[in-house]
Structure 1
Amino acid sequence: MVLEVAILEVKKGMVSKFEADFRRAEPLISSIEGYLNHRLKKCLENDHKFILLVEWESLEAHTEGFRKSDQYLTWKKLLHHYYDPFPVVEHYVS
């Protein structure tokens, strides 16, 4: 298994809208073959900061399966405009 980790810094004043759009986006990622689960957690110290943890069966399930899918295009459209700076995504052995 592979754990995808992303620190998401949402633009100030956009947190509520981001949270609503993230809920709309969740079925997109969970529909991908090789997806196992995910968690989005809000930071206690900075209410505009989140950590996204996604477990995948393999690195390729994320980098090939999700990122090259139509679902990812919709995910990007829903969520990517909220981030400043754009998040670094890293993968860890799970």
Structure 2
Amino acid sequence: MILEVADIRIHPGREAEFDQAIQRGLSTVIARAQGMRGYDVRKCIESPQRYLLQIQWERLEDHTIAFREGPLFQEWRAIVGPFFAAPPTVEHFTVLAQSD
């Protein structure tokens, strides 16, 4: 299992709109992606224009190739992209240790 972590910064004053848009994008686009096993989005308390999106993928290629190079990526970006203040920082992680 691979964890994608996207650090997203949006334009100030658009938080309520983005909250709805990202939820819509997750449920209508990301939910259909090959190898997607779950997701979670968090909103920063101290910096309300900052969000952390975490998506669990079966394999790295499910995100980097199947999703990013396929038609779903364009649908996703059409929904959430207009809110971005800058391109998100995206990194991938594997589990080293975890609690029960």
TM-score, length-normalised on structure 2?
Answer: 0.88
3-state SS of 2:82 partner: helix
* 1:66 and 2:71 are equivalent in the alignment: no
Structure 1 residue 24, shift from structure 2 partner: 1.5
Aligned twin of 1:21:
21
CA RMSD of aligned residues (A): 1.0
Alpha-carbon separation, structure 2, partners of 1:93 and 1:23: 25
Structure 1 residue 22, shift from structure 2 partner: 1.1
Alpha-carbon separation, structure 1, partners of 2:29 and 2:92: 20
5+ residue gaps, structure 2? 96-100
Comparing 74-83 with 55-64, greater Cα deviation is found at 74-83
Structure 1 residue 31, shift from structure 2 partner: 0.7
Residue by residue over 1:23-54, the C-alpha shift from the partner in whole angstroms, topping out at 9 and shown as x without a partner, is 22112111111000000001111111110000
Residue correspondence of structure 1 range 70-81 to structure 2 within 5 A: 70-81=71-82
3-state SS of 1:41 partner: strand
Structure of greater Rg: 2
Residue correspondence of structure 1 range 10-49 to structure 2 within 5 A: 10-26=10-26, 27-49=28-50
5+ residue gaps, structure 1? none
Alpha-carbon separation, structure 2, partners of 1:89 and 1:81: 17
Alpha-carbon separation, structure 2, partners of 1:88 and 1:72: 16
Structure 1 residue 10, shift from structure 2 partner: 1.0
Structure 1 residue 60, shift from structure 2 partner: 0.2
Provide runs of 4+ in structure 1 moved above 4 Å.
Answer: none
Aligned twin of 2:92:
91
Give the length in aligned residue pairs: 94
Alpha-carbon separation, structure 2, partners of 1:49 and 1:30: 22
